[in-house]
Amino acid sequence: MKVGIVGGGIVGLFTAYYLGKEGIKDIIIYEKGFLGAGSIHAAGLIEPYRFDKINTLSMIKKMLKYKMNGSTDIKEVDKLWLIELIKNLEKNPPKEAWDTMREMAKFSLSEYKRMAEEKNDFDYHEDGLLELYHNSKEFENGIEDEKKSPFSPKFEVEEVKGFAGGIFFPELSRISTEKFVDRISREITDNIKVRNEEVNKVSKEGYVGEEKYDLVIVAAGVWSRILKIPLTAFKGYGYRVKGVSKLNRAAVIVDYGLAISPLSDHIKITGGFDADFSIYSKRAEEFLKKAKELVDIQYVNDLNMGFRPCSPDGFPIIGRRNNLVLVTGACRLGWSYGPAMGRYAADLALDKVKDLGYISRYFHE
């Protein structure tokens, strides 16, 4: 079986990983950059229970608040995505959608743990996540939101000096995204070849450009829009820095949408949720300045940028048409759901499942 995978981000890599475990040896990944290029900017927080439903008035209000304090910039959105967002505003998905997401969350958390138990060469930490609030009212609202969450996550309320309060999620984990890409890339080396090419055309008959495959999997993040699905980009920035963190665990300053994760040889600082398709990265500096509240930054190693692929409601889009499989979406939780998304894409490719119900809503026969 000859398989072409368009996109070498974390979802494409997991898809290749699970196909390899099923014995598929002839796999070609199309990636115009290096493997993981569009994914490594992320904080590496494995937090599938922190799901954001996009098509709500509360999310729109949050985006406007972020716009006011400089944490978000709104420049451009996909027109098809915007139409679908408006059509589905405040609509709830069926119960089976939440059931699927809970299973995906459980699977993804367990897979990172399993791989770390095999060899922890990617800075895996199972020490939870602390959400920090400056505003007392927002802190109270955050607690109420967790009580109503469909995931029913375990959480603890904490007092944190300099903040109105914190919500700690003990079940969540974190990794180094750069080191994990190195790890999974080594594991799939025997099964794949990489072509550093940009792909502008795929077909449900199994073509990538002019080359024919038994099956093509599009895992190209926001660039999966070539399949005419409602998907827009929310740009984020990720720094690796040397310095001293005031906390020895991962934290998110909710007011800024800023994440900080102290790792073995660097501290990861990430922020930004910009509605923007451009490669302009000047705004990244704003998040570096905000991070100084928790980190004494001594040296900046590097900066990476990526585009989170968001569906109109934030749920993944995973489905199949003839010889074409699509796996994208999940917005800012691509890493959190990456193992499950790759597993589902592989199962669709191998005919182990035919359809994923609501998750296949925008891409099915």
Average pLDDT over residues 11-35: 96
Residue 237 domain-assigned (yes or no): yes
Split at pLDDT 50, 70, 90, the class of 103 is very high
Q: What is the CATH number of the domain that holds 89?
A: 3.50.50.60
Predicted confidence (pLDDT) at residue 52 exceeds the cutoff of 90: no
Query: Whole-model pTM?
Result: 0.96
Q: Give the pLDDT confidence score for residue 351 in this predicted structure.
A: 95
Average pLDDT over residues 159-180: 96
Predicted confidence (pLDDT) at residue 180 exceeds the cutoff of 90: yes
Residue 364 domain-assigned (yes or no): no
Residue 146 domain-assigned (yes or no): yes
Predicted confidence (pLDDT) at residue 191 exceeds the cutoff of 90: no
Write the pLDDT tens digit of every residue in 205-215. 999 999 999 99
Number of folded domains that form the chain: 1
Cβ contacts of 74 within 8 Å, gap of 6 or more: 63, 67, 274, 275, 276
Split at pLDDT 50, 70, 90, the class of 352 is very high
Of 58, 56, 52, nearest to 86 by C-alpha is 56
Q: Give the pLDDT confidence score for residue 190 in this predicted structure.
A: 83
* DSSP letter for each residue of 253-310: ETTTTEEEEE-SS-EEEEEEEEE--S---TTHHHHHHHHTTTEEEEEEEEEEEEEEEE
Virtual torsion, Cα 191, 33, 323, 337, nearest 10 deg: 80
CB 169 within 8 A of CB 154: yes
Q: Which two tokens stand for residue 269?
A: 């600082």
Split at pLDDT 50, 70, 90, the class of 104 is very high
Split at pLDDT 50, 70, 90, the class of 220 is very high
CA torsion sign, 149 to 353 to 307 to 77? negative
Write the pLDDT tens digit of every residue in 298-312. 999 999 999 999 999
Predicted confidence (pLDDT) at residue 238 exceeds the cutoff of 90: yes
Calculate the average pLDDT of the chain.
Answer: 95
CB 218 within 8 A of CB 327: yes
CB 266 within 8 A of CB 260: no
Residue 365 domain-assigned (yes or no): no
Q: How far is CA 365 from CA 166, 219, 357, in A?
A: 46, 18, 12
Question: Which domain covers residue 76, as residue numbers?
Answer: 1-358
Residue 280 domain-assigned (yes or no): yes
Residue 363 domain-assigned (yes or no): no
> Taking CA 84 as the corner, what is the angle to CA 80 and CA 89, rounded to the nearest 5 degrees?
150
CB 7 within 8 A of CB 221: yes
Residue 332 domain-assigned (yes or no): yes
Euclidean distance between CA atoms 360 and 330, whole angstroms = 13
Name the DSSP class of 245.
E
Pick the range with the lowest mean pLDDT from 51-65, 286-300, 311-325: 51-65
Predicted confidence (pLDDT) at residue 62 exceeds the cutoff of 90: no
Split at pLDDT 50, 70, 90, the class of 92 is very high
Q: Which two tokens stand for residue 35?
A: 């493997």
Split at pLDDT 50, 70, 90, the class of 118 is very high
Greatest C-alpha distance within the chain: 60
